[in-house]
Chain A
Amino acid sequence: GIQVEQSPPDLILQEGANSTLRCNFSDSVNNLQWFHQNPWGQLINLFYIPSGTKQNGRLSATTVATERYSLLYISSSQTTDSGVYFCAVAGTYKYIFGTGTRLKVLA
């Protein structure tokens, strides 16, 4: 089955810093989403991005499907960005989630 790896596993930033999170996947996929899991456990959809680049405020994402990776950029980080970031790629009838990047932003 498809393997999904995320890096780094943990990241600590000072407020205002920028960061890049990476998601590698082992096979071609038709669909990829980035989620932020907040401290209450909710999965917040950030991007649906099977290919190309999208931006939403301080966040942007790029997926290079032919090279089997996706990047999530966080600029000018805020304490509310803390939590775990997951990428998920589509199998036929399911999502396969990565192991996540745990981000802590310090004030």
Chain B
Amino acid sequence: EPEVTQTPSHQVTQMGQEVILRCVPISNHLYFYWYRQILGQKVEFLVSFYNNEISEKSEIFDDQFSVERPDGSNFTLKIRSTKLEDSAMYFCASSPGTGGVSYQPQHFGDGTRLSIL
């Protein structure tokens, strides 16, 4: 069964540094998402992306965050100047998008655990 692949599985970065989290969504999917989970808390939506544009973003997704689909297979989340509070598990997801995006299941990757020192 096709899966969403995230790399790296664990990233350790110094505060103030830039970090890029990478995702390879399922190949025929059209919608891509990033979510964040701070340790011990629920999963929170960050951003959704379709047709090379942001469809929706949360209040968390401020100017230090950006997303990009640099080629036909990768989907990236960049954090420009990391803060201690950015330490979290980051999940990428994708969905087919056909038949109405809100009717389709989302497929999640295994996550990248980001630790800011």
Contacts and interface: CB of A to CB of B under 8 A. Distances in A.
Contacts of B44: 97
Given A41-B111, A42-B111, A33 B42 contact: no
Given A43-B91, A97-B43, 17 more contacts: A30-B102, A31-B102, A33-B105, A41-B110, A41-B111, A42-B110, A43-B43, A45-B107, A45-B108, A50-B103, A91-B45, A92-B101, A92-B102, A93-B50, A94-B33, A94-B45, A97-B42
B52 interface: no
Interface residues of chain B: helix, strand, loop or mixed (majority) = strand
Contacts of B91: 43
Contacts of B75: none
B29 to A, nearest CB: 14
Contact of B56 (A48, A50, A92): A92
Interface of B: 31, 33, 35, 37, 42-45, 48, 50, 55-56, 58, 89, 91, 93, 100-108, 110-111, 113
Interface of A: 29-31, 33, 35, 41-43, 45, 48, 50, 86, 88, 90-100
Contact of B45 (A48, A50, A95, A98): A95
